[in-house]
Chains A and B, each alone.
Chain A
Amino acid sequence: MNKKLRILGFVLSLALVIAAAIYGVRGIIKKDKLSVVDDYQAYSKVVLTEAKSIPVQDDGRVKPLQTWAETLMLAMHGQRGMDIQVNEKKVKITPTAWLLDAIFRPEQADKLPTFRVDNSHILEEYGMEIKDLRDRYSMNDLKPYLSKFDGENRLINEKIKKSGRDSLTLEEKQMTELFEAISIYLNLRDPFAINSRDQEMLEQIGLQKVSDVFGFKDKILGFAKQSPNSSPTQLINGLDSLSSVFNTLARQPQYYGKYSNLPLFPPTEKDNDTWFSAGQQYALIAENNDQAYQNYITKRDKFLKAVGPVDDAKAGEIFKDYFEIFTTYIDKDSKPFPKYVQEAIIQQETLTAKLNSNNETTQLSAIKEFKKKYANTVHSRGEDAMIDTEIAHNDRNYFNNGLAIIILALFVVVARCMLLGTRFDRTFYWIAYAVTSIATLYIIAGIAHRSYIMDRPPVGNLYDTMPFIVAACLALLLLIELISKDGIMLAVATVLGIGGIVLAKQYEVSQATDHLSPLRAVLKSNYWLTTHVITITLGYAGGLITAAISVFYILGRTFGIIDSKAVRKKLTSIVYGMVAFTLVFSLVGTILGGIWGADSWGRFWGWDPKENGALLIVLWVLIILHARLGGYIKEMGLHCCGAFTAAIVVFSWWHVNFLGVGLHSYGFTSADAMGALWTFYAVIGLLIIIGIVVSVVEKESKKRAKLEKNEL
């Protein structure tokens, strides 16, 4: 290979590498000032290892606490993990640690920089002193402004009710996201904390925690029946106070408990699928009891109005009836708390107390006890079968690690470019091949693991398509490389792989939901998920490979890197083959989708956006093939059309989900995503124009050269 080529290759490759590297490591080199939390008490590793496998139910399935924590943290913080500074040392807070704090040690959690705000200017309006434009804030930072946020939230909700979510300004949308995050965060905390206002009064009668109320009914009745030395008036006043105390205690978690979202407890009934939150169960009963208290007040007031002024003599006369009203409230109208709710609250209170001890042994034993308490129930329901394997999946972080390996492969490819023609050429070639293969296998392992956990085929939602397409692209390109043996496919594979995984990560952060989620009813068919969805996804992969190689061709010809006719012909054959591959899988996948639609919804084809998107891919590849066969497009024409395939695939894969209509509308809308899509289309368009211009220019210069030669 000539020197010019090597230099060009080096420069371009270096540019690519630097860009990839900057993006990949920007999380590390970003000047994110560490929040200083000097009095933070970190959990030990062994406590966190025990805690992460606590089973919880969220989004329709039982999962380890770690998964739930990662999803929540991703939603609020934008990352799985945060770093803080504790006594000048950097401490990493894992999602599990963060969630344990949010639930059981809210004072600690409130110091952590939980809330990511992309545009800090929105906080300036409330008089807040902001840090960087894009920064993270703790609950303590935001607490003084919560009431102002409440007011703003109400106004925004009214606006949404009136004119829909699309009518919000960008700032309002950002505020809404922050409010939602704050709401979710506050609803995580243990609702059984006694309000300080009532603490003094309750402690006087020996009540310190909510679970103390469970035996208290009998205590109150006991109190009421005793006191033989008190005068009837004193007794009546005493009864009033007791009823007030009873209600105060019942009221404590009522307000927060209603929204408390801590589904930590499995149901006791075998035919009940829904895990419960102790706070919510408590609140349901407490609400009834509050109503009973109001009824008691009404009855009592009516009774006292009827009897008139009460002196000691009268008190004696009316005491029996008065006591009857009181005991009806306490004993009959107030519902008792079921045993399972009492047990759950006691467990939650114990866990809270022990986790706040900041002693590793106490914390560890508390978590173990908590898990042990419900282990049999969970196990008998078969709901713990995948907990351990899911933790292994989370810890292995397949796709992040796969990305790192692909980046390494790219480095090796670049190094090989610099060593082209030397004796190290083939060695580096095979190292690049091996590293890319390892990355591919690692990603496939991740896909397989997810499939095993969810007991379904590998592609069940939009997120699943991304690693699958990456794996398919890598595998196919490695296969093609085995035949072509020139390293071009390796380079394309690494770039596609990096792009795909980065896209998956961006999507994951933007959605911040658990993608290991159960399928919608209409998708619950492993047969169709295997056949139709995988075939179509392979079609997308084929289209993207076609486009990637064509883009390489266009840029290569533009910058004079691929001068050799043989290389150009080879790339053209490969693209032609990939077009055929895309046709096979897209056509078959589309028809399979129609057959599935006929089975599920009664119609083979409904001109639904997703169906149309798949059809567009089929039509486009057919156009390419027939135009080529008819001689209407030549080599550059084929590659320009190949590059356009990317636009068609992206329209079918992504854009249709943003349209929000049709039976396939499992998607969502996002102005940011639309911006990215239009940028992508513009880039593809630009590349096609470049290709056409290059082709025309080359043709003209060839013509001129021929004319000159003839003249000579």
Chain B
Amino acid sequence: MSKQNISTSGKVKKKKSIPVLIFDFFSSYLLAVTTLTVLGLLVWFSTLEQTVYGLSATAEKYYHSSAYFVIPEINGSKIPLILPGAYWTCVILFLNMVCGGIIRIRKGIKQLGPVIAHFGIILLLVTGFVDHHNSVHGHMDTRQFGTYDYAWKRGKTSLEVFKYDDEQNKTPPYVIKHEMLEDLQHDSGTPKYRVFKFKDLPFDVEVRNFYDNATIFVDNGNPREKTDGAVIDGIFLRATDIDPTTDLYMFSCYVTIRPHDGSEARNLILSRTVNHPLTFSVEGKLYGIEMPNEIWKMPYEVRLVNSYGEFYPGTERPSYYSSDIIWKDSKGVEKTSKIKMNEPLRYQGFTLYQASWTPPTNGIEYSGFVIVTNPADQWPVTCLWISFAGLIFHFIMKLSKYIGKEQRKSKPADSKSKVNAKAKAKANA
């Protein structure tokens, strides 16, 4: 790093090399203030936008690594402002903190606190990045005595296409993921579409007019709205507003099955609201297609033995939930466990949380779990302690200095300084 002269008058500044310029840029206070301000704006706009589009969709728009830039909205109207996505802003912030907060910062006891605190926050950002790329969250809705080896992902749909075997049992489905569908948003003008081909299926699937949230309506001849899709088999899709309080999305789309043998194409409506596959036949074989939330297969099974919930007496406010489960791993080893609110089960790299509970229906008990796998699960605790240590050290040091200064200001002249003053006066005389 080249030395910079504080006073520039009359002196020629040495030209900096490119790496130095880049380092200066990434370690500057102005970059820190800018990234923090951008992050603040993103957080604020996303908080307001959630009330319209729900949490998952807004988080996807602002915070996903695929969001390179964001145009915020307020009450559904776009703001004439382009901001970088939060993920990439955090990347810049990370670089800024490393360059400025660790490398460039003055080293000494006075800066020890901030350095430690910066390190803690850098670690927290790293935790965030690891969480973002490696953690998986799923929901598991269980029914008493049922065995479950899968979870579904909130806010993520998938399109599954599969063949039925001779007994009309499902075979492993091909999965088209959410990311391949979400840009095909329905449009009253020219529909956006994409054609999906499959290794050993005798047809292609063309998807168009994807809805984040739609309801199936029966065509009764009632007046149609602008967002209404085509009528197929007497039904059509109509876009409906997302209920931001539930954060549940009824993804839907239009699909055309195009057989390779040139036989008649088949149009279908798929929707998350339909909890079973639709079927069609090509070349004398039966196939199924459906649009569930993305399914996450587990390497273990969970069986709900019973669930228990308590309400505060005389109210419908839950006071306690717990579930007894049997966890059976891939080797067949069983583990019995009780999961309670605030007391999850951490086992074999997964964490199972008691997320929701409903009272029994017809004597059958139910329980809702959230399953998470996240290598950075326990890292925030470490980050917390490091940041706290740095901050509190610096704060106490500054406070002590301030108190000392104030006390010195308000203290009357002590005897030593009086003696010094007298000696000085004598010497002058």
Task: Let me know if A483 is at the binding interface, CB within 8 A.
Answer: yes
Q: What is the bound-complex CA distance between A631 and B311, given in angstroms?
A: 56
Task: Let me know if B323 is at the binding interface, CB within 8 A.
Answer: no
B62 touches A607 (CB 8 A): yes
Q: What is the bound-complex CA distance between A659 and B244, given in angstroms?
A: 10
Q: How many residues of B contact A (CB 8 A)?
A: 68
The residue of chain B having its C-beta at the shortest distance from the C-beta of A570 within the complex is: B406
A632 touches B387 (CB 8 A): no
Task: Let me know if B59 is at the binding interface, CB within 8 A.
Answer: yes
Q: What is the bound-complex CA distance between A587 and B377, given in angstroms?
A: 19
B residues near A274, Cβ cutoff 8 Å: 313-314
Q: What is the bound-complex CA distance between A581 and B402, given in angstroms?
A: 14
B residues near A521, Cβ cutoff 8 Å: 317-321, 341
A619 touches B40 (CB 8 A): yes
A591 touches B33 (CB 8 A): no
B residues near A608, Cβ cutoff 8 Å: 55
A residues near B370, Cβ cutoff 8 Å: 601-603
B residues near A626, Cβ cutoff 8 Å: 29, 32-33, 36
A residues near B407, Cβ cutoff 8 Å: 483
A619 touches B43 (CB 8 A): yes
Looking at A59, A619, A627, which has the most chain B CB atoms within 10 Å of its CB? A619
B391 touches A587 (CB 8 A): yes
With contacts A599-B344, A662-B55 taken as known, whether A616 is within 8 angstroms of B30 at the C-beta atoms is no
With contacts A484-B406, A602-B372, A627-B29 taken as known, whether A616 is within 8 angstroms of B137 at the C-beta atoms is no
With contacts A275-B314, A521-B321, A629-B29 taken as known, whether A656 is within 8 angstroms of B392 at the C-beta atoms is no
Q: How many residues of A contact B (CB 8 A)?
A: 64
- Our pick among A577, A613, A630 for the contact of B47 (Cβ within 8 Å) is A613
Scan B359-393; emit 1 where CB is below 8 A from any A CB, else 0.
00000000000111000010011011001100110
A612 touches B314 (CB 8 A): no
Looking at B47, B55, B311, which has the most chain A CB atoms within 10 Å of its CB? B47
Scan B1-44; emit 1 where CB is below 8 A from any A CB, else 0.
00000000000000000000000000011101100110110011
Q: What is the bound-complex CA distance between A373 and B415, given in angstroms?
A: 78
B residues near A58, Cβ cutoff 8 Å: 314
Task: Let me know if A40 is at the binding interface, CB within 8 A.
Answer: no
Task: Let me know if B46 is at the binding interface, CB within 8 A.
Answer: yes
Chain B, 33-68, CB within 8 A of any chain A CB: 33, 36-37, 39-40, 43-44, 46-48, 50-51, 54-55, 58-59, 62-63
With contacts A580-B395, A602-B344, A630-B29 taken as known, whether A661 is within 8 angstroms of B245 at the C-beta atoms is yes
Task: Let me know if A322 is at the binding interface, CB within 8 A.
Answer: no
Looking at B51, B63, B394, which has the most chain A CB atoms within 10 Å of its CB? B51
Scan A544-586; emit 1 where CB is below 8 A from any B CB, else 0.
0000000000000000000000000000010001001101100
A591 touches B380 (CB 8 A): yes
A61 touches B312 (CB 8 A): yes
B40 touches A620 (CB 8 A): yes
Task: Let me know if A677 is at the binding interface, CB within 8 A.
Answer: no
A661 touches B381 (CB 8 A): no
A599 touches B342 (CB 8 A): yes
B124 touches A591 (CB 8 A): yes
A626 to chain B, nearest CB (A): 5
B176 to chain A, nearest CB (A): 26
Scan A607-647; emit 1 where CB is below 8 A from any B CB, else 0.
11100110110011011001101111000000000000000
A57 touches B33 (CB 8 A): no
A623 touches B43 (CB 8 A): no
Q: What is the bound-complex CA distance between A518 and B313, given in angstroms?
A: 11
B392 touches A584 (CB 8 A): yes
Task: Let me know if B335 is at the binding interface, CB within 8 A.
Answer: no
Q: What is the bound-complex CA distance between A591 and B387, given in angstroms?
A: 10
Chain B, 388-412, CB within 8 A of any chain A CB: 388, 391-392, 394-395, 398-399, 402-403, 406-407, 410
B residues near A594, Cβ cutoff 8 Å: 380
Task: Let me know if A524 is at the binding interface, CB within 8 A.
Answer: yes
Q: What is the bound-complex CA distance between A319 and B311, given in angstroms?
A: 53
A615 touches B51 (CB 8 A): no
A59 touches B342 (CB 8 A): no
Q: What is the bound-complex CA distance between A408 and B247, given in angstroms?
A: 50
A residues near B131, Cβ cutoff 8 Å: 604-605
Task: Let me know if B351 is at the binding interface, CB within 8 A.
Answer: yes
Looking at B33, B55, B370, B394, which has the most chain A CB atoms within 10 Å of its CB? B33
- Our pick among B50, B391, B394 for the contact of A659 (Cβ within 8 Å) is B50
- Our pick among B29, B39, B410 for the contact of A619 (Cβ within 8 Å) is B39
A22 to chain B, nearest CB (A): 36
Looking at A483, A599, A604, which has the most chain B CB atoms within 10 Å of its CB? A604
A residues near B54, Cβ cutoff 8 Å: 661
Chain B, 286-341, CB within 8 A of any chain A CB: 311-315, 317-321, 341
B406 touches A483 (CB 8 A): yes
With contacts A584-B392, A600-B353 taken as known, whether A616 is within 8 angstroms of B44 at the C-beta atoms is yes
B residues near A615, Cβ cutoff 8 Å: 43
The residue of chain A having its C-beta at the shortest distance from the C-beta of B309 within the complex is: A521
B37 touches A623 (CB 8 A): yes
Q: What is the bound-complex CA distance between A579 and B228, given in angstroms?
A: 53
The residue of chain A having its C-beta at the shortest distance from the C-beta of B376 within the complex is: A604
26 A-B contact pairs sorted by A residue (CB < 8 Å): A57-B313, A58-B314, A59-B312, A59-B315, A60-B313, A275-B314, A483-B407, A521-B319, A521-B320, A522-B342, A573-B402, A580-B391, A584-B395, A587-B391, A592-B384, A595-B384, A599-B344, A600-B353, A602-B137, A605-B131, A606-B59, A607-B63, A622-B36, A660-B51, A661-B247, A662-B50
Closest 8 A/B residue pairs (Cβ): A60-B312, A630-B29, A273-B313, A602-B370, A274-B313, A602-B372, A602-B353, A619-B40
Knowing that A605-B131, A622-B36 touch, tell me 4 more A-B residue pairs with CB under 8 angstroms: A602-B137, A607-B59, A622-B32, A661-B244
Instruction: Tell me the A residues contacting B by CB distance below 8 Å.
Output: 57-61, 263, 273-275, 483-485, 518, 520-522, 524-525, 528, 573, 577, 580-581, 583-584, 587-588, 591-592, 594-595, 598-609, 612-613, 615-616, 619-620, 622-623, 626-627, 629-632, 651, 656, 659-662, 665
